[in-house]
Amino acid sequence: MPDSSTGSTGNTENTETTGTAEHAVDPVNAAGTGGAARPSRRAVLAATTAVTGVLAAGAAAGAPAYAAGASGTPSAPSTPDDRKLRALVSRMTLEEKVGQLFVMRVYGHSATSPDQADIDANLEEIGVRTAAELLEKYRVGGIIYFTWAHNTRDPHQIASLSNGIQKASLGLPHGLPVLISTDQEHGIVARVGAPATLFPGAMAVGAGGSRFDARDLGRIAGRELRALGIRQDYAPVADVNVNPANPVIGVRSFGSDPEAVARLVAAEVAGFQRSGVAATAKHFPGHGDTAVDSHTGFPVITHSREQWEKLDAPPFRAAIAAGIDSIMTAHLMVPALDASDDPATLSRPILTGILREELGYDGVVVTDSLGMEGVRTKYGDDRVPVLALKAGVDQLLNPPSLDVAWNAVLRAVRDGELTEARLDESILRVLRLKAKLGLFKDPYASPDEVDRRVGTRAHRAAADRIAERTTTLLVNEDRVLPLSRRRQPRLLVVGADPASPSGTTGPPTGVLAGALNELGFTATALSTGTAPSAAVIDRAVAAAAEADAVVVGTYNVTASSGQRTLVERLLATGRPVVAVAIRNPYDVAHLPAVRAFLATYSWTDVELRAAARVIAGRVEPRGTLPVPVQRADDPAAVLYPVGHGLRY
């Protein structure tokens, strides 16, 4: 799934100059010198004349639609005429129709002037130099932003890139606005980093248990994404994580209780979509009970149909009831739902039979990334997109070779394997969504809106308040916590420093130490890594001798982990030791001698700052476990049940 890739950083945006004379819009100015210039209203209307001549801006009949008002906030719902949308489809060439089905990656911070390294990457992987050339050659309906593709350097650059993409597409004959998407789950998956507001991830929100917090997260995050020109977010995760060994979902899930997950999914969907951003529930029919990562293997879910109905289906039902705009498929096999051994992404019984017909969903269905091994194991890259469309998919996300996939779909129509009417069905859904999101009326981002909405003080304060309600105190023997500035003024902070999900936060030990310093302690950070050597452990133990207490951040501890040895050696010093599980709460089962243990469910700054406030006693620990923690020596026995969480 594109959602678990990691990313990097970037630079500045250059002036965009694509577009024909009759569709020209104002240049997009350099973000590095003041932001993403928004094309004038007059230019916007000129650029979209061909489309709006046949389309009334709004949304599909029966669904709420939100076109951007003067403030950039979604205005009152409106309803487009489906006949006009169909007329628009009828004017498209077959090649244009095929393109609308694809959502593709592209390297670079600019639609027309990316860095040379990004040009080289585009040429190697896609056969084009820039996003503008991608649109001209393949007429893709969507583009997905990644950090590692250098799409998300800073807010004004992102808005400039979005405007450059829209301008390039609208400047083509029969040009259509592009649906720009990303994976902004928050927590351990975030493509847009600081200074945009970063929130706790799903399992942390599950620990807080508040539908209001989930809704507010979606509302604020949606407003910021929309200001950047991103109108579709591949969130929330609707998988119910019942397998502690799940290597790909884990803390990206709200928890293990299907009904609790369903409530939070519905709330977050409402928040996103009221902000004018399409939410995406993923990964249908459910990816929560697997020990195999579908990026690198082909998972099999062994749930019976009855188990699926009780465990996996409720969050997706709730998302549909909440009016979810899009649902992402999973690259895994569920024999109880389809005995063909095909992945769900390619399964007509699952996508059409269950999702469309039984659950009554008629919104957009998007695949997970088609570059993942889970969908490539059984069929070649030329067959996967065709079979996905035959199964009921509408958007084909990020194929490894766009040329192979695009031509495969084109050939399938020309050879009669796919009908053009089948393509029209999906294109109509995609166009309805674009209309609902206001893309036909005003596809551009505004630099003023970036300044007004992205990373504001009020938004950051809301993220901090939500995070404070998620930190979970699992163990507190002999009232080790909270630490006292008077009795324990000198603190040593050690532990793992995993890479920042967005490339803009961390390192965790430094963030924790910095936050504790701001709270009146004298804290020193020492990164010891996820697999500390004997020499590193010795250094940490020596440093502990100069401290009054030690805070250690743990990350995916196992029975043989060097992190266990580190903690045991620190405990042997006699200093109070506070362990903070910065990813999975299951770490506590492997460290039974620790007398004070917190879980943050992620290592991003907002969650670590909240943990520091709990350690210092500035706020009460208020989170409760959204998943059970099994005993390390007997996985069949529960050490801490769902709902466990101590207070001071």
Q: How far apart are CA 229 and CA 155, in angstroms?
A: 10
- For 73, other C-beta atoms within 10 Å of its C-beta total 16
Name the residue among 259, 246, 388 with its Cα closest to residue 331: 388
* Residue from 118, 368, 442, 587 carrying the catalytic annotation: 368
Task: Tell me the angle at which helices 605-615 and 457-468 cross, rounded to the nearest 10 degrees.
Answer: 60
Q: How far apart are CA 535 and CA 22, in angstroms?
A: 68
* Residue from 295, 331, 459, 644 carrying the catalytic annotation: 295
Cα dihedral sign for 342, 344, 350, 352? negative
Q: How far apart are CA 302 and CA 281, in angstroms?
A: 21
For 615, the 3-state DSSP assignment is helix
Please give the DSSP secondary-structure letter assigned to residue 350. I
Name the residue among 597, 603, 607, 586 with its Cα closest to residue 645: 597
Dihedral over alpha carbons 554, 559, 562, 568 (to 10 degrees): 80
Q: Is 283 a catalytic residue?
A: no
Q: Is 368 a catalytic residue?
A: yes
Specify whether the CB–CB gap between 49 and 72 falls below 8 A.
Answer: no
Q: Which residues contact 287 (CB under 8 A, 6 or more apart)?
A: 239, 246, 248, 249, 294, 299, 301, 330, 332
Provide the CA 377 distance to its chain's centre, in angstroms.
25
Specify whether the CB–CB gap between 172 and 50 falls below 8 A.
Answer: no
Active-site positions read: 295, 368
